[in-house]
């Protein structure tokens, strides 16, 4: 299998896989035909649309196949070799293999591969940090050595103190994530949180401002990482800031884990070399199964391993097995080539958009994300642009931009990423064509006015025939890079 086109299989395998999937869908269909039909339809939809959501990808068939097994039926709470259930020897094997690959691939002291998602990984990391650091002020009053020794009553008292624990993270409109201390997520209740933003002129992270905030606020945790920032982060600088104020440096690399695994982000840009704790999902640029993972230094290994049952439900053996397979794929030179192409394609897409007059946040990209300011460029809200693109077979998501004039619901931006279409084999020429199609669709879109004659924020109209024309052109482009070719259901 060529890794640049993980979505590809050779014809003989395709025949076998087709027959296996057909049999599986027949069995499923006998129980609930609507699920079998939706599963077939999902493949068809993914085959025929331009998947540009920056957090999505196409896992390889070995990864997909590993998820569908009887490991799903086994309980295995606890950690490798220390389970609360009997008969976990095979779960021990797959969890050990996944952790071993993760440690070696990322150069981490320790890997905890149980988190079910990115939110779970971050929650596990926060509890790890609190477990490790919060014991100092006054745990002796509970007769406890660490937070793990506390009774329920002790927890009730301690919970009221969480507001005394401080964290800083990138603001949402600059590209940070809800789990970096924002109110809709538990992290915003566990910590007293302040945000650092980006430079209003350039849109780049301002390390001087981060340092200023850290000195003034003295957080226990500095969270670095992003889900919608189109530039690289210098984690060596973030480490210096953390050291200066005695903070723990936590990096959420969910979005760019594939670029770290693929050695595109090295040196100062390698989070694992600089942070105390690194969290990630496994299904974005890393191209594995849906799930999460936490990498730590030896200092935090004992605490992070208590993630289940502290904050996580029983580990998912079938997903940990698939993480092991995906991480084995990510160790190859072919994956490193793929990761480099993600970044090269992202630049090509940015150039294609900018030469056609689109304003990008930071005027470009050097990772896998392009953040389009569709309000300045086309007079559309993010919601209108997202919908018009979807009508045209282009799947993206709306996203806030810094100081967004349309707020967090309608937004003024659209976020676009290259990992998925790079997996299908797209190169710079195809991404230039993608830019052209996006501009064609959005140039033909106008905001609809509301009943009172005001410019609406949700409704829109597209000039006759343009959505279909773009959809057809997208399909033609996709036809050259088929998804799991030969897999016929």
At closest approach, how far in Å is the CB of 179 from ligand DSN? 8
* DSSP label of 2: -
172 is in an annotated binding site: yes
Cα-only R_g, the chain = 23
Active site residue 95: no
Residue with tokens 């085959």: 47
Query: What's the closest the beta carbon of residue 50 comes to ligand DSN, in angstroms?
Result: 16
Structural contact between residues 203 and 196, judged by C-beta atoms closer than 8 angstroms: no
Catalytic hit among 47, 83, 231, 284: 284
Distance from chain centroid for Cα 238: 21
Query: Is 453 labelled as part of a ligand binding site?
Result: no
Q: Does 411 bind ligand DSN (CB under 6 A)?
A: no
Instruction: Based on the residue annotation, tell me whether 281 is a catalytic residue of this protein.
Output: yes
Question: Residue 55 interacts with ligand DSN (CB under 6 A)?
Answer: yes
How many chain residues interact with ligand DSN (CB under 6 A)?
4
**CA pseudo-torsion sign 232, 235, 240, 241:** positive
Q: Quick check: 277 and 235 in contact, CB under 8 A?
A: no
Q: Minimal distance in Å, beta carbon 314 to ligand DSN?
A: 23
Catalytic-labelled residue, pool 128, 179, 198, 281: 281
Residues 170-189 that bind ligand DSN (CB under 6 A): 177
Cβ atoms of 424 and 196 within 8 Å: the answer is: no
Contact mark string toward ligand DSN, 59..98, x via CB under 6 A: ----------------------------------------
Q: Which of 290, 336, 347, 356 is catalytic?
A: 290
Q: Is 77 labeled as catalytic in the residue annotation?
A: yes
DSSP 64-120: HHHHSSGGGG----EETTEESSS--HHHHHHHHHHHHHHHHHHT-SEEE---SSHHH
Kindly name the residue from 22, 39, 56, 77 that is annotated as catalytic: 77
Return left, alpha or beta for 78; rule: phi > 0 is left, psi -120 to 50 is alpha, else beta. Answer: left
Among candidate residues 220, 213, 228, the one with its CA nearest the CA of residue 276: 220
Rounded least distance, CB 52 to ligand DSN, Å: 12
Residues in region 197-256 near ligand DSN by CB under 6 A: 227
Cα-Cα end-to-end distance for the chain: 21
Question: Minimal CA–CA distance to 255: which of 274, 232, 277, 276?
Answer: 232
Cα angle 252, 255, 259; round to 5 = 105
Asked if 258 is part of the footprint of ligand DSN (rule: CB under 6 A), the reply reads no
The neighbour count for residue 36, using CB atoms within 10 Å, is 18
- Least distance from ligand DSN to the Cβ atom of residue 368, Å: 11
Candidate list 8, 76, 91, 118; residue touching ligand DSN; CB under 6 A = 118
Q: Which residues pair with residue 193 across a beta bridge?
A: 167
Q: C-beta of 442: minimal distance to ligand DSN in Å? A: 21
- Of 78 and 292, which CB lies nearer to ligand DSN in the complex structure? 292
The active-site residue out of 95, 120, 135, 252 is 252
x-marked contacts with ligand DSN along 439-478 as a string, rule CB under 6 A: ----------------------------------------
Helix (H) or strand (E) holding 395: strand 394-395
> Is residue 262 part of an annotated ligand binding site?
no
Q: Which residues bind ligand DSN (CB under 6 A)?
A: 55, 118, 177, 227
- Binding residues for (6S)-5,6,7,8-tetrahydrofolate, by number, are 172, 176-178, 299
Residues designated catalytic: 75, 77, 252, 281, 284, 290
């Amino acid at each position: 299998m060529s890794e640049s086109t993980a979505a590809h299989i050779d014809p003989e395998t395709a025949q076998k896989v087709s027959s296996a999937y057909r049999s599986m869908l027949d069995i499923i269909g006998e129980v609930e035909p609507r699920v079998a039909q939706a599963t077939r339809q999902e493949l068809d939809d993914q085959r025929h649309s331009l998947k540009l959501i920056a957090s999505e990808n196409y896992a390889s068939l070995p990864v997909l196949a590993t998820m569908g097994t009887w490991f799903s039926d086994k309980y295995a709470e606890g950690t490798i070799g220390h389970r609360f259930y009997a008969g976990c020897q095979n779960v021990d094997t797959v969890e050990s293999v996944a952790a071993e690959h993760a440690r070696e691939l990322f150069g981490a002291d320790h890997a905890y591969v149980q988190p079910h998602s990115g939110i779970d990984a971050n929650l596990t990391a926060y509890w790890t940090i609190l477990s490790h650091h919060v014991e100092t002020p006054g745990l002796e009053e509970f007769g406890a050595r660490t937070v793990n020794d506390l009774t329920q009553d002790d927890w009730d008292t301690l919970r009221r103190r969480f507001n005394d624990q401080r964290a800083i993270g990138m603001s949402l409109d600059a590209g940070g994530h809800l789990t970096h201390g924002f109110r809709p997520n538990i992290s915003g209740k566990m910590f007293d949180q302040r945000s650092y933003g980006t430079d209003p002129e350039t849109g780049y992270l301002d390390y001087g401002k981060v340092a200023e905030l850290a000195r003034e606020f003295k957080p226990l945790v500095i969270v670095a990482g992003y889900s919608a920032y189109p530039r690289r982060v210098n984690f060596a600088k973030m480490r210096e800031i953390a050291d200066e104020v005695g903070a723990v440096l936590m990096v959420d690399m969910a979005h760019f884990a594939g670029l770290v695994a693929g050695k595109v982000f090295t040196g100062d840009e390698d989070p694992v070399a600089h942070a105390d704790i690194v969290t990630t999902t496994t299904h974005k640029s890393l191209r594995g199964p849906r799930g999460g993972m936490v990498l730590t230094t030896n200092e935090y290994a004992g605490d992070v391993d208590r993630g289940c049952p502290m904050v996580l439900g029983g580990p998912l053996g079938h997903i940990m097995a698939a993480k092991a397979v995906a991480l084995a794929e990510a160790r190859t030179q072919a994956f490193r080539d793929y990761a480099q192409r993600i970044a090269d394609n992202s630049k090509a897409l940015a150039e294609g958009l900018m030469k056609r007059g689109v304003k990008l946040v930071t005027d470009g990209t050097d990772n896998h994300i392009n953040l389009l300011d569709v309000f300045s460029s086309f007079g559309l809200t993010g919601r209108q642009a997202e919908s018009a693109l979807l009508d045209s077979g282009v799947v993206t998501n709306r996203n806030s931009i810094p100081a967004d004039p349309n707020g967090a619901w309608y937004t003024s931006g659209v976020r676009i990423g290259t990992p998925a279409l790079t997996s299908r084999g797209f190169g710079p020429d195809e991404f230039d064509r993608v830019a052209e199609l996006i501009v064609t669709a959005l140039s033909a879109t106008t905001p609809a006015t509301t009943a009172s004659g005001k410019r609406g924020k949700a409704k829109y109209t597209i000039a006759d025939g343009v959505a279909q024309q773009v959809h057809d052109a997208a399909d033609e482009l996709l036809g050259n890079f088929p998804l799991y070719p030969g897999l016929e259901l």
